[in-house]
Amino acid sequence: MPHCSEGPGRQASATKDTSERATRKESRKRILFFGDSLTAGYGLEDPSDGFTAVLARRIDSLGWDWEVVNAGLSGETSAGGDGRIDWVLQQPVDVFVLELGANDGLRGIPVDETERNLQSIIDKVRKADPAVRLVMAGMQAPPNMGPDFTGRFRRIFPELAARNGMASIPFLLEGVAGEPALNQPDGIHPTPEGHRLVADNVWEVLRPLLEAAGAR
C-alpha cells in the first residue's frame, strides 16, 4: 500500500531534518550574560522587556545565528557568582558578559574582595575555554558610600577589563541611573524603557565584538 512504501521515506526525511536542526542548533554561537537582578530583569512584568531579550531580538533581526543566554540571579554578589560560575559553565560559551558587583557596592563589601571575586570568575571562564571573548560591564556604587569607596569601586571594572584583555562597557546604567522615569519605584531597577537604553549601552560594545567573531 502507498502508506507502507512511503512511510520509511518520510521517516528517513524526518530523521534527516531533525539531525540538521540539531546540527544547526549545536553550531550556534552563544552569548552568556552572567549577572544579578539587572540581568535577570527584576520587577518587569514581561521578561521580554529585559535588556538581554532586547539584544536577542536585535541580533535575530540581523540574521545572525547567536543564542543569548540570561544567567542573571537577583541578589547575586560577586562572591555568589564565583560560587555559581562552575555550574553555569557546563554549557559552551563564545562570548561571556560579566555583570556583577552592583550588590557588593550597595552592601559596602570591601572593594578588594569584590575585585578578587570578579578576577576568580574571569579565571574560571578562561580556564573553561581560553578562546572565549569576555566583556566587563562597569558598575558604580551609590554616592552615600563616600567618595573614597565609590572612586575605588568604580575603578576596579576598567582595571580588570584592561588587565584581562576584556571589552569594556564603561557604565552599564549610563543614562538610566538616577533618572526616575527610567527606573522602577525602588530607584534601582530599570523600567522597560530603561532596559532598552541599557541594551543600547551593551550593544555599542557587543556588536563589534560579534562582527569580529564572524557574526555574519
Nearest to 72 by CA among 61, 84, 60, 64: 84
pLDDT in tens, 143-196: 999 999 999 999 999 999 999 999 999 999 999 999 999 999 999 999 999 999
pLDDT at position 45 over 50 = yes
- The pLDDT assigned to 206 comes to 98
pLDDT band at 213 (very low <50, low <70, confident <90, very high): confident
Query: Where does the pLDDT of residue 17 fall: very low under 50, low under 70, confident under 90, or very high at 90 and above?
Result: very low
Higher pLDDT, 87 or 215: 87
pLDDT for 215: 55
How far is 180 from 167, CA to CA, in rounded Å? 29
Q: What phi, psi does 139 have (nearest 5°)?
A: -130, 165
- Average pLDDT of span 8-14: 43
Domains and CATH numbers, the chain: 29-212 (3.40.50.1110)
The answer to whether residue 3 is catalytic is no
Q: Is 186 a catalytic residue?
A: yes
Of 48, 40, 57, 49, give the one whose Cα is nearest residue 195.
49
Exactly one of 27, 37, 123, 200 is catalytic; which is it?
Answer: 37
pLDDT digits (tens, 9 = 90+) for 61-120: 999 999 999 999 999 999 999 999 999 999 999 999 999 999 999 999 999 999 999 999
pLDDT value for 26: 55
DSSP 74: T
Q: Across all residues in the chain, what is the average pLDDT?
A: 90
- Mean pLDDT on 37-46: 98
pLDDT of the residue at 107: 96
Return d(Cα 164, Cα 134) in angstroms, integer: 9
pLDDT at 55 over 80: yes
User: What pLDDT does residue 22 have?
Assistant: 41
Q: Based on the residue annotation, tell me whether 189 is a catalytic residue of this protein.
A: yes
Q: Per-residue pLDDT averaged across 135-145, rounded? A: 95
CB-based contact 37:100 (threshold 8 Å): no
Catalytic residue among 36, 78, 104, 189: 189
Q: Which amino acid is at 37?
A: S
Q: What confidence score (pLDDT) does residue 139 get?
A: 97
Output the pLDDT for position 216: 52
